[in-house]
Amino acid sequence: MRDHNTAVVLGLLRDAGPEGASRAELAAGAGLTPQAVSKIGARLRAAGLAADAGRRASTGGKPPTLLRLVPEAGHAVGLHLDRDAMTATLVDLSGAEVATRTAPLAFGSGAEAVLAEVAALLDGLLPATALGVGVAVPGPLDHRGGVLGKVTGFPRWDGYPLRDALAGRLGVPVVIDKDTNAAALGLLPRGGASSFAYLHLGTGLGAGLVLGGAVHRGERTGAGEFGHQVLQLDGPLCACGSRGCVEALCLEAVAAGDVGRAAWLLGVGAKNLVRLLDIDLVLLGGRTVLAHAARFEEGVRTVVGEATCVEVTEERAVVTGAAELALAPLFGGAVG
């Protein structure tokens, strides 16, 4: 059931929504013959992943039979591990949220303690139909190997195989990625902008980059370390060891209550990114931004200019994007 053509057809059914799609529409979208689509549709029905959706009204000729996705046939969990909190969301195959849990988290308490807290949070949330768990965590990390790097401020995680450790404990496949990349995946507009930057300012600052319709991770999953571009050579010491990083400057301004300066600094960094990548959409998120959404949106837009669209995103972009990490392979999406 995991072959490429089947995954592409499933993805088209997901995009079609509850109304479903005809065999001709699926064939055109997948670049397959109608006969091939018929065979794939039969396999999807047998597996319970698809079902007939009746016929579409037609003014002439025999109306086509429609096929639709069965959302409840499978589920995934998105898990966001922040520095001081964790959130888990169960979604169905359509990406609709079914249940959500949150709990405090001491990310610096050590791997075994954190894994025990995660297992407790997910206890009873993972159904038998779970395809896997997508985990969004602070970077840097090795996305392909599932190993964390030296997370800023939490060096004890450096080299820890989080993916394999969680998969062994939970008994389901696990995918991990940076929180900013997960959010970018969840925000990837269907039929909208194919390239954009998502800037996440919370207890740290990072970026998720979408270029040409795909999340850009870089050769070593190091792309998007936006917060550690140096803006002031003699600036305050950053937790990464450098001085004058935009992350350190922004967080210093926020701590001092100067939201206007924090927004201006974020705008300066964003303008550098816009010039470097030639993108015209910047999305803002993270708890610090959301606490002062209008001021950050206005401040960043003022710096980058009106030619670039600047918008504040939904609060749950990270955790819903994490769930998409687990769903992506089923629908022909690449997570690597």
311-320 pLDDT, tens per residue?
999 778 899 9
Q: What is the mean pLDDT of the chain?
A: 91
Q: Say what the pTM is.
A: 0.88
For the segment 88-96, the average pLDDT, to the nearest whole number, is 96
Q: How far apart are CA 35 and CA 131, in angstroms?
A: 29
Q: Is the pLDDT of residue 208 over 60?
A: yes
Instruction: Identify the CATH number of the domain defined by range 188-317.
Output: 3.30.420.40
Q: How far apart are CA 116 and CA 315, in angstroms?
A: 26
* pLDDT for res 194: 85
Q: Is the pLDDT of residue 104 over 90?
A: yes
Q: How far apart are CA 186 and CA 87, in angstroms?
A: 15
What percentage of the chain exceeds 90 in pLDDT?
75
Domain spanning 74-183+320-331, CATH class: alpha beta
Q: Could you tell me the residue ranges of all domains in the chain?
A: 4-72, 74-183+320-331, 188-317
Tokens, residue 309: 């669209």
Q: How far apart are CA 250 and CA 270, in angstroms?
A: 12
Please indicate whether the domains covering 4-72 and 188-317 agree at the CATH topology level.
no
Q: Is 174 exposed, middle or buried (0-12, 13-18, 19+ CB in 10 A)?
A: buried
Q: How far apart are CA 334 and CA 336, in angstroms?
A: 6
CATH value of 4-72 in 1.25.40.10, 3.40.640.10, 3.40.50.2000, 1.10.10.10:
1.10.10.10
pLDDT band at 10, cuts 50/70/90?
Answer: very high
230-258 pLDDT, tens per residue?
999 999 999 888 999 999 999 999 999 99
- 3-state SS assignment for residue 106: coil
